[in-house]
Amino acid sequence: MTELTATTPAKRPATAADYVNLMKPRIMMLVVFTAVAGLAAASGITGVTMHPAMAAIAVLAVALGSGAAGAINMWYDADIDAIMSRTATRPIPSGAVPKEEALTMGLIMSGVSVMLMWLASNWLAAALLAMSIAYYGWFYTMVLKRRTAQNIVIGGAAGAFPPVIGWAAVTGNTPLDAWILFAIIFFWTPPHFWALSLLAHKEYAKVSVPMLPVTHGTKATRLQIILYTVVLVAVSLAPLATGLGGWIYGAVATLLGLVFLAFSVALLRSKAGDDGAPGADMKLARNTFLFSILYLFALFGAVLVEHAAGLHFPVIGA
Amino acid sequence: MEDPTLKPDVRPITPEDLAARKKRNLWLGLALAGFVILVMITTIVRLATGTGISGRM
């Protein structure tokens, strides 16, 4: 195990932005977006509607829950964040927010978010939200991340819960369609994150976090990226079979799925992440990472548009 | 013998520290007020629509 060494940062007064950053706002955006898509799809498919104020509070609860998990993650990972250049400027390692304050904030926000979700919807959505916070804040952060190269695969489930929570908030149950949305995010997470880790694996090696490129090498990672992308593209077409996805969704999933596959094939043929890899190959890894974000937004955006704007025309069973 | 690690932090509070503390307290107050308002809204909606009240959906 590598000795973790970091200099104690000079204390500086925290700003509002530091507390916002503690909640990992970029992850929160994706979480909220997929939860809203799940909520809209549940209403569109079942015809059950939710009071707009209650729906807004339920979405806020998901956002708070995501922020809470992010704060707990930053509290626990403060030691390694201080060493990695990508994360050294985060609120705790930069000396803006004391560690204990981040933990307190995370725990209080967890409780508030689950309570709000229960008040705005039902116990199932609240329980799923509590579970997803615990899954990310405890299971992924404290158990998986520093122990196994499968950390991203298993931990990816934490980020896959929001559409299921959104669905449960509307209907009080979680049918197959909700779990298909879960599966899309679950299989999307590994290729998304491993594309980034090809760029940053030396940083992870420095702090002994067993990300796949660190433990199995970059070639194995590029292979795993394409394998997971193939499964992801197949799973992304499942909504067409159940009627959850219509023509718009089908077109988006097919077209962007093919582009994602093309990125993965190019990545497999490249030397991205290797020592002395050409700049173009590293750029390809970065573009694959960025495209994966666009891919997920577009897929859930299509679900949202079809069900919230009344543009859902099923491919099967019309 | 006195444990040096138990010595209190005697760093003087600067005007920047005070301003940051004031701002933080203001945000905490607003967050608390926001929470109360949200609970009130859920209560009003539940009472108005009858959702969650025994015997009604």
Residue extents of the structural domains in chain A:
17-151, 175-318
Nearest to A297 by CA among A85, A11, A115, A26: A26
Tokens of A242: 């159940």
Q: Alpha helix (H) ranges present in A47-175?
A: 52-76, 78-81, 99-120, 123-134, 151-171
Residue A120 to residue B42, Cβ atoms within 8 A: yes
Residues of B in contact with A53 (CB under 8 A): 41-42, 45
- Provide the CA A12 distance to its chain's centre, in angstroms: 30
Most confident of A214-218, A223-227, B14-18: A223-227
Residues of B in contact with A112 (CB under 8 A): 35
Interface predicted TM-score (ipTM)? 0.77
pLDDT at B2: 58
User: Which value, to the nearest 10 degrees, does the dihedral of the CA atoms of residues B11, B16, B21, B27 take?
Assistant: -160
Residue B23 to residue A16, Cβ atoms within 8 A: yes
Report the interhelical angle of A151-171 vs A25-46 (nearest 10°): 40
Residue A13 is nearest to which of B20, B46, B49, comparing CB atoms? Answer: B20
**Under DSSP, is residue A314 helix (H, G, I), strand (E, B) or coil?**
strand
Residue A119 is nearest to which of B23, B42, B49, comparing CB atoms? Answer: B42
- pLDDT averaged over chain A? 92
Residue B41 is nearest to which of A14, A16, A53, comparing CB atoms? Answer: A53
Most confident of A143-157, A194-208, A295-309: A295-309
Question: Rounded distance, CA A110 to CA A100, Å?
Answer: 15
Question: Residue type for A47, please?
Answer: G
pLDDT band at B49 (very low <50, low <70, confident <90, very high): confident
Cβ contact A120:A61 at 8 Å: yes
Residue A2 pLDDT exceeds 60: no
Residue range A238-266: mean pLDDT, rounded: 96
Question: Rounded distance, CA A225 to CA A194, Å?
Answer: 7
- Counting residues of chain B whose pLDDT is more than 70, the rounded percentage is 70
**pLDDT tens for each residue of A189-210:** 999 999 999 998 888 888 888 9
- Counting residues of chain B whose pLDDT is more than 90, the rounded percentage is 30
Residue B49 to residue A119, Cβ atoms within 8 A: no
Residue A13 to residue B49, Cβ atoms within 8 A: no
Question: Chain B contact for A19, CB < 8 A?
Answer: yes
pLDDT at A300: 97
Please tell me the least confidently modeled range out of A153-157, A234-238, B20-24: B20-24
* Alpha-carbon gap: A19 to the closest alpha carbon of chain B (Å): 10
pLDDT at B13: 80
Residue B38 to residue A57, Cβ atoms within 8 A: yes
pLDDT at B55: 47
Residues of A in contact with B42 (CB under 8 A): 53-54, 57, 116, 119-120
- Counting residues of chain A whose pLDDT is more than 90, the rounded percentage is 77
pLDDT at B57: 45
Question: Chain B contact for A16, CB < 8 A?
Answer: yes
Rounded-to-5 percentages of helix, strand, coil across chain A: 75, 0, 25
Alpha-carbon dihedral sign for residues A102, A168, A30, A52: negative
B4-24 burial string, b = 16+ CB within 10 Å, else e?
eeeeeeeeeeeeeeeebeeeb
Residues of A in contact with B24 (CB under 8 A): 14
Neighbours of B36 (CB within 10 A): 10
| pLDDT higher at B14 or A79 | A79
pLDDT band at A10 (very low <50, low <70, confident <90, very high): low
Cβ contact A22:A104 at 8 Å: no
pLDDT at B10: 64
Most confident of A228-232, B28-32, B48-52: A228-232
pLDDT band at B56 (very low <50, low <70, confident <90, very high): very low
Residue B20 is nearest to which of A14, A60, A120, comparing CB atoms? Answer: A14
Please tell me the least confidently modeled range out of A36-50, A94-108, B12-26: B12-26
Q: What is A17-151's CATH number? A: 1.10.357
Residue B49 is nearest to which of A15, A51, A120, comparing CB atoms? Answer: A51
**pLDDT tens for each residue of A21-34:** 999 999 999 999 99
pLDDT at A4: 52
First to last CA, chain A: 58
Residues of B in contact with A119 (CB under 8 A): 38-39, 42-43, 46
Question: Rounded distance, CA A90 to CA A95, Å?
Answer: 9
B40, containing H or E segment: helix B15-49
Residue A14 to residue B35, Cβ atoms within 8 A: no
Question: Rounded distance, CA B48 to CA B33, Å?
Answer: 22
